Structure 1
Amino acid sequence: MSLDRPVHPDPYALLPSVPSFTVTSTDVADGQPLDQAQVHAGGNTSPQLRWSGAPEGTKSYVVSCFDPDAPIVSGFWHWVVCDIPADVTSLDTGAGAGDASLPAGAFHVRNDRGSLDFMGAAPPQGDQVHRYFFVVTAVGEEKLGVDASASPAVVGFNLAFKTLGRAIITGTYQF
């Protein structure tokens, strides 16, 4: 079987336009290959993220990692954290290890592996370069209105109506 296919478009460019703000990382350089720590076989460690300049009225954040280049129609969700309080503007390296590693009130929803944590990059061997979109979404409500049983798709649907702004940093990986 061949995995040859077109490169998927940037999925966030297809969403309604919202103000952007800044996200930086000591672990992810925008547009550059991920460190082995952020790879499934190399550590499964979520990266440090710090954000600033969120729009006025931000009451919480959602942090996610999405790979649109997975060889399936839906892409692959590696990480989703909901209800991060508005006064929190960073996550330490390894915050994706489980809910105990998150700020009070925040929680994971299941990634596409089915676990409540961060799953590192794991593209098929020999496949095209995959992009990993680490996204901080500013939310206009303190609670998104989902719980840990929600799918990333349900989180995304709720964000469609509650997003005030978005900050993105993208890592890459090819196995």
Structure 2
Amino acid sequence: MTQPYDPYSVLLPVRTFALRSVDIADGETLGVAQRSSLFGRPGQDRSPHLAWDGHLAETQSFAVTCYDPDALTVSGFWHWAVFDIPASVNELPAGAGNASGERLPVGAKMLANDAGRHSYLGAAPEPGDAPHRYMFVVHALDTPTLDVATEATPSWLGFRLVAHALGRATLTPFFGIPA
């Protein structure tokens, strides 16, 4: 059996650390709150609670991303991208990815997702497609701020993250819609 593509496997290895959530679990199905209502399906587009620890003491900031490598595009789909999260922060509450950004830590910046919205966009795979993986990743970084404009794409942020990564923590839930 062919293993699904892991986009992080092609990057230079970095230290891993712990990531947990009261809303999502590795290898489990995403709940309705983390699914999208964009196409008239049940969903709330609410980013999950995320908490992390065990990162290197040298960490100067964090970024949080949500990426679907199984989206029916050649480049996957970025659902959420936040960076310049201060190193003193080790948790984001549920709903931190709302459009107002009011639940994000002071100084954190949120980019538009691949649908052009400055917020978390929940899971919305095509009906009948195999279940998609949603990779929620916390990136520990060696710089307090990244030179990334708020008009940049999540792909550009991902490029910059590679250059500054000290570690990564990942939770990968799934979601699919039967035909």
Quote the residue 1:29 is aligned against: 25
Amino acid at match of 1:12: Y
Are 1:135 and 2:156 counterparts?
no
Deviation at 1:10, TM superposition (A): 1.1
Are 1:154 and 2:156 counterparts?
yes
Stretches of structure 1 that go unaligned for 5 or more consecutive residues are 1-5
Quote the residue 1:3 is aligned against: none
* Identity across matched positions, percent: 45
CA–CA distance in 1 between the matches of 2:144 and 2:164?
Answer: 10
With 8-17 and 45-54 compared, the bigger mean Cα shift is at 8-17
Stretches of structure 2 that go unaligned for 5 or more consecutive residues are 38-42
SS in 1 for 2:97: helix
Amino acid at match of 1:170: T
**Cα distance per residue 1:27-72 (max 9 Å; x no partner):** 0011000000000021000000000011121000000000000011
Deviation at 1:157, TM superposition (A): 1.0
CA–CA distance in 1 between the matches of 2:64 and 2:18?
Answer: 13
Amino acid at match of 2:144: E
**Cα distance per residue 1:79-130 (max 9 Å; x no partner):** 0001000000000000000322210000101100101110000000110110
CA–CA distance in 1 between the matches of 2:115 and 2:34?
Answer: 15
SS in 2 for 1:156: helix
The aligned length equals 170
Conserved in 2, the CA contact under 8 Å of 1:8 and 1:68? Answer: no
CA–CA distance in 2 between the matches of 1:26 and 1:7?
Answer: 28
Are 1:9 and 2:11 counterparts?
no
Quote the residue 2:34 is aligned against: 38
CA–CA distance in 2 between the matches of 1:108 and 1:77?
Answer: 12
SS in 2 for 1:161: helix
Quote the residue 1:171 is aligned against: 173
Quote the residue 2:91 is aligned against: 90
TM-score normalised by length of structure 2:
0.92
CA–CA distance in 1 between the matches of 2:15 and 2:161?
Answer: 14
Amino acid at match of 2:31: D
Check 1:102–1:90 CA distance in 2 against 1; reply closer, same or farther (3 A cut).
same
CA–CA distance in 1 between the matches of 2:105 and 2:34?
Answer: 21
Deviation at 1:8, TM superposition (A): 4.4
Quote the residue 2:40 is aligned against: none
Conserved in 2, the CA contact under 8 Å of 1:46 and 1:95? Answer: yes
Deviation at 1:147, TM superposition (A): 2.2
